[in-house]
């Protein structure tokens, strides 16, 4: 049999519904979701503890009490506010290194 005599038969019919996922795939996806929820809740608790620090310590971190309260207010209970707080602190540190006045 020559190579050009072979015909590949692909089933390219209309797919009306997505293929059902196996139980193992569903459990793996649930496990990933629960893991990310656990991390988000842990980071939320850590961000809540930032609100208990005094202004001097928050300033050392590059944050203010208003920043922390604002971010916590905008995010839901299961959302992870750590990324937003990190961005704020990094932006404030960059401004400080450039000699710009922080807000």
Contact 79, 40 (CB under 8 A): yes
pTM for this entry = 0.59
DSSP string, 45-74: HHHHHHTTS-HHHHHHHT--HHHHHHHHHH
Give 36-75 pLDDT, tens digit per residue: 889 888 888 888 888 888 999 998 888 888 889 898 888 7
> Where do the domains of the chain lie?
24-97
pLDDT at 103 over 60: no
For CA atoms 14, 16, 22, 25, the dihedral sign is: positive
Give 60-71 pLDDT, tens digit per residue: 888 888 889 898
The C-alpha angle 16, 19, 23, rounded to 5 degrees, equals 150
More confident site: 10 or 62: 62
């Amino acid at each position: 049999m020559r190579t050009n005599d072979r015909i590949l038969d692909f089933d390219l019919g209309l797919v009306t519904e997505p293929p059902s996922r196996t139980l193992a795939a569903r459990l793996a996806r649930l496990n990933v979701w629960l893991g990310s929820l656990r991390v988000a809740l842990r980071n939320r608790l850590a961000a809540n503890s930032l609100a208990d620090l005094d202004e001097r310590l928050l300033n050392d971190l590059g944050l203010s009490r208003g920043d922390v309260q604002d971010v916590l207010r905008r995010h839901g209970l299961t959302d992870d506010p750590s990324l937003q707080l990190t961005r704020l602190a990094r932006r404030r540190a960059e401004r400080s290194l450039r000699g710009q006045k922080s807000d």
